């Protein structure tokens, strides 16, 4: 078996988190092999509605992850894009929040911009997170309070605070729609697939920020949220509200901004200015 990449001495973590971390990595690497066996081979694909594709590979990876993780931890809850569990599972103390392929459209198109993204959530916040891009071999991992690593090497968000000098990641759809109006004018805006991958690349300091003004689900964000936080970044919705996961009432979040704290604050300020350049009223965001 590939040795674990998270280079912390076992004594630095509670024993149960050590075990959960290793269990999760084994599951993700198994899922990664399934993904790569099908990558570039036109998998069977259908639409779940709303131009939201899913493939036979999403379902296969979801099944493998569920079998691995819940067989070993039957007392944990389960919340996945492809097999949303009963609401009662969200009341369990610890919950696996899973996206078996984040960036399914990129996967179908043969672009190496998809990830397998899983977080272990406790009291609404992730305590373990792993985001794996099997096409590039990038394995991002974080444990709450213990930093994050990319392929075993500690990573950190960038330090730039000027939005005009920033390189921002968005989805291809949002680059076309430009919902942010003039709020990102002057910034270099770059389209990329998986939202979890975009956020992990921000955590690694390769890009300055990720922005989305479209709704996202728990499974899109939970793992990357911890990775960004442990890299010294800040991730909230576009109004600056912290994100909570596996809530009893909803799995949806209206938007997100992730960057280092100074750039994060600057981007929120810019997006709160309407197209005419006047500050929006307190608590009111410009309409898309």
* Integer CA distances (angstroms), 172 to 87, 195, 228, 269, in order: 33, 11, 22, 24
Q: Which helix (H) or strand (E) holds 21?
A: helix 15-38
**Known binder of ligand: residue 102?**
yes
**Known binder of ligand: residue 220?**
yes
Classify residue 161 by its DSSP letter: -
CA distance 274 to 77: 42
**Known binder of ligand: residue 10?**
no
Q: For 212-248, give the DSSP string.
A: E-S-EEHHHHHHHHHHHHHTT-EEE-TTSPPP--S-S
User: 117 near 128, Cβ under 8 Å?
Assistant: no
**Known binder of ligand: residue 62?**
no
**Known binder of ligand: residue 218?**
no
Using DSSP's 3-state secondary structure scheme, residue 42 falls into: coil
For the annotated binding site, the residues are: 81, 99, 101-102, 220
For the annotated binding site for Mg(2+), the residues are: 81, 99, 101-102, 220
């Amino acid at each position: 078996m590939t040795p674990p990449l998270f280079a912390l001495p076992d004594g630095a973590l509670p024993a149960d988190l050590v075990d959960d971390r290793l269990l999760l990595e084994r599951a993700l690497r198994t899922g990664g092999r399934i993904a790569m066996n099908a990558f570039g081979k036109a998998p069977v694909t259908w639409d779940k509605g709303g131009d939201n594709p899913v493939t036979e590979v999403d379902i296969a990876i979801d099944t493998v992850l569920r079998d691995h993780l819940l067989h070993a931890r039957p007392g944990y809850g389960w919340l996945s894009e492809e097999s949303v569990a009963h609401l009662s599972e969200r009341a369990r103390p610890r919950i696996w929040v899973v996206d078996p392929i984040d960036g399914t459209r990129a996967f179908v198109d043969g672009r190496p911009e998809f990830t397998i993204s899983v977080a272990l959530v406790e009291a609404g916040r992730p305590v373990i997170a792993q985001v794996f891009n099997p096409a590039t071999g990038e394995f991002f991992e974080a444990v709450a309070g213990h930093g994050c690593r990319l392929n075993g090497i500690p990573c950190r968000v960038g330090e730039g605070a000027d939005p005009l000098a920033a390189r921002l990641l968005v989805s291809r759809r949002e680059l076309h729609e430009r919902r942010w109006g003039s709020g990102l004018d002057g910034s270099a805006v770059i389209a990329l697939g998986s939202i979890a991958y975009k956020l992990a690349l921000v955590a690694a300091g390769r890009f300055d920020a990720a922005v989305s003004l479209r709704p996202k689900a728990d499974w899109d964000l939970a793992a990357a949220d911890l990775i960004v936080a442990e890299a010294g970044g800040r991730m909230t919705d576009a109004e600056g509200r912290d994100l909570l996961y596996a809530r009893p009432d909803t799995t949806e979040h209206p938007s997100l901004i992730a960057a280092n704290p100074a750039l994060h604050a600057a981007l929120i300020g810019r997006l709160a200015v309407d197209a005419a350049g006047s500050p929006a009223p307190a608590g009111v965001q410009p309409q898309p």
